[in-house]
Every structure is written in structure tokens, then in C-alpha cells.
Structure 1
Amino acid sequence: MAPLRRLCLLLALLLPPPAVPAPAPAPAPLRRPDWAACRILSRELSRLLAAVKEPPSALDGMLLLEEDPQNWPPRIRCSDACDPLTLETNNTRCLQRIRQALQHYRDLLGSDIFQDQPQPQLETTMEQLLRHVQEGHGRPPRHPLAPTAVWARHLARHLALKRLRSFAAVISRVFNHSAR
């Protein structure tokens, strides 16, 4: 029995080791935005928006009917999973919607509706916030918007600022919760 055992050991030493499958590469960790920086920038965005003064007009106190919902800018909906419980487990969908809306508003701020009332600080803060939310997705290109008729610019600017203020309030809540 001992000679047979020695022979088995000798063969085991002479034979190449069995092939071991290589371990699967670990999935790349998701790059998460710097929540604290996003919270600070979203608060700054809200502060700057509150400081934007529009010239007095006939639009004040007037109820404006919204145009076709298909043409609305990106908005955060319930289905975007920006609620506190979902944000803790999966924030991908929420961040995608925020990124989409930030790109839209950044493009609006650079359009002709703000040419007679440029907002450089607002644009800079928006760009910084977009950079933080954009991590891992590259730098988004600017999309030039179609020119707005001169007579419609004031109304378009008024609606854009109104919607941006509302959006800034929502993302401020999202970033405030996530930064805790």
C-alpha cells in the first residue's frame, strides 16, 4: 500500500496542476457624486435664482396656461425614484433625470432668451453642479436651441426661470437628503 501511495504522490508532482478558472473581474464601482458638494451648489443655485430680478410686466399676477406637456422641459416625476428610501439603494434613475434637466436649463441659460439679461453666475453654478452629477458620464455637449422670436423672449425667460426655480427646490431636497 505504501508503494502505491508513493507512486500517486510522484505522479501528482509530475502532472501539471489542474486549470483553475480565473476569477471574474470585479465590477467597476459606481462613481457616486459628491453629495455634499451637490447640496452646497444646489443651495447656491436656489439663492442665485431668488436674486434674479425680472422687469415688471403684464405677466405678473397673470395665470399662464402651460403649453403641450410633450414640450415641457425635463421634470422630476414620482417614477424617477428620487424619494429618500429609493435614493439610498439605487439613485441611478434620479441622477439621470437631474442630469437631463440640468443640461436643458444650462442650454436655456446660454440661449437667446437670456441675451439681454445674461446670468453668468447662474450659468457657472449650473455648470459646476452638472459636472458633479455628471461624474463617470463624460462632459455633456451643449445643444443650441432654436432662436426665439423677439416678442416671445420675455415670456420664454419668465417661464424658464419659474420652472428652474421649481426644479432647483426639488433637487435641493434630493441633495440635502443624500448628503446626510
Structure 2
Amino acid sequence: MAPFRRLCLCLLLALLPPPPAAPAPVTAPVTAPAPLRRPDWAACRVLSRELSRLLGAAREPHPVLEGLQLLEEEPQNWPPRIRCSDACDPLSLESNHTLCLQRIRQALQHYRDLLGSDIFREQPQPQLESTMEQLLRLVQDGPGRPPRHLPAPAELWQRPLQRHLALKRLRSFSALMGRVFNHGAR
């Protein structure tokens, strides 16, 4: 009787409908990546040219500083710079400008903070600050961060040297940034 019972159970199981499928796992809907926000390259080019012009017109109050060459400090203390790995070359800018603009944004924030610090208290640069702030708004994704004022130098006599070094580095950065925006505006 047992084999007959097994045969009946097998036939009954074969006639039953298949069990319902397990529910599909819940996943986030697949969306296309957000398109890269294209900066206003032409406006950035105009502002970077204005920044370079203002930097060229900025003069040292102490003429002896004009020809002074200062030794560079340790690399970990350097301000943000455009490096080869930042993809600011013309071919990389065509396909993805995000990394390059992030580096430019970091540097602009750094120099904006320097211009608002005690280093420039005796020789404020309101036009430079204004132009840099406008440029920063153009390359920013979102609200950005408020200025962070750097600590005052230890000695009063260091301020002219630090100001000289900051302007020298900003001129160098401005030249590279201008090339990026000039290419992007084409």
C-alpha cells in the first residue's frame, strides 16, 4: 500500500499549481547619473582675466620684496595647486571637468580665506576679494562654505613676507586657472 500511496501523492503534487514566486527584492530605482553642471566658461574666463589683471597691478609696499625669492616650505603646507592628476588638460576637460573644477574651487576658497586674514589687514585687497568671490560662485556646486579666516602669523614682521608669498602663489595659480577657463570657453 505504501508504494501506491507514494504514487498518488506524486500525481497530486504534479497536478497542483506551482508555488508563487518569491517577491522580488526591493531595490532603488535605477536612474541615469545626474548630468554634469556645465559652468559658464565665458564668465569664468572674463573673471579670471580680471583677477590676473588685478594681481598684476598689486604692488608691494616694500620694493625690496619685489625681487625676493623665498624658500618653499614643506609640501604638506602648500596651498591647493592644479596638478597633472587633476585632469585640467584640454582632452580631459572635454569629457569630465568635475575633478578640475573641484581643485580650482579648493584653491579659490583657500586664497579667499587668505585675502580675508590678518596677513592682508594692513594692505586689504577688496577688488581681488570681490572678483575671487564672484569666480568662486560660478564654479561652486551648491552653497559652498563660508570664509574661514586663517590664524594670525606669530610675528608682525612676517606679514609682509607671507603676503608676498601668497600673492606670488595666487598669480601662478591664476595663470593656470585662466588657461583652463580659456579652453573651456572655446
TM over 0.5: yes
Choose from 155, 164, 177 the match for 1:158.
Answer: 164
Query: Is residue 148 of structure 2 the alignment partner of residue 143 of structure 1?
Result: yes
The share of aligned pairs that are identical, in percent, is 73
| CA-atom RMSD in angstroms | 1.6
Query: What secondary structure sits across from 2:65 in the alignment?
Result: coil
- Mapped to 2, the partners of 1:86 and 1:27 lie a distance apart of 19
Aligned 8 A contact 2:79 2:107 in 1 = yes
- Mapped to 1, the partners of 2:66 and 2:33 lie a distance apart of 53
2:117 is matched with: 111
Q: Which amino acid aligns with 2:107?
A: A
Aligned 8 A contact 2:44 2:181 in 1 = yes
Q: TM-score with structure 2 length normalisation?
A: 0.80
**1:52 positional shift:** 0.7
Choose from 60, 69, 85 the match for 1:63.
Answer: 69
- Mapped to 2, the partners of 1:42 and 1:56 lie a distance apart of 27
- Mapped to 1, the partners of 2:118 and 2:68 lie a distance apart of 24
CA distances 1:115-148 after superposition (whole Å, capped 9, x unpaired): 11111111000000000000x3322221120111
Query: Is residue 59 of structure 2 the alignment partner of residue 30 of structure 1?
Result: no
CA distances 1:84-117 after superposition (whole Å, capped 9, x unpaired): 0000001111000000000000000000111111
1:19 is matched with: none
Query: What secondary structure sits across from 2:157 in the alignment?
Result: helix
Consecutive unaligned residues of structure 1, counting only runs of 5 or more, are 1-22
2:105 is matched with: 99
- Mapped to 2, the partners of 1:58 and 1:36 lie a distance apart of 38
- Mapped to 1, the partners of 2:184 and 2:117 lie a distance apart of 32
CA distances 1:21-67 after superposition (whole Å, capped 9, x unpaired): xx844433221211110000000000011111111343343331111
Query: Is residue 80 of structure 2 the alignment partner of residue 74 of structure 1?
Result: yes
Kindly name which structure, 1 or 2, has the bigger radius of gyration based on alpha carbons: 2
Query: What secondary structure sits across from 1:96 in the alignment?
Result: helix
Choose from 152, 174, 180 the match for 1:174.
Answer: 180
Choose from 38, 49, 63 the match for 1:43.
Answer: 49
Aligned 8 A contact 2:36 2:98 in 1 = no
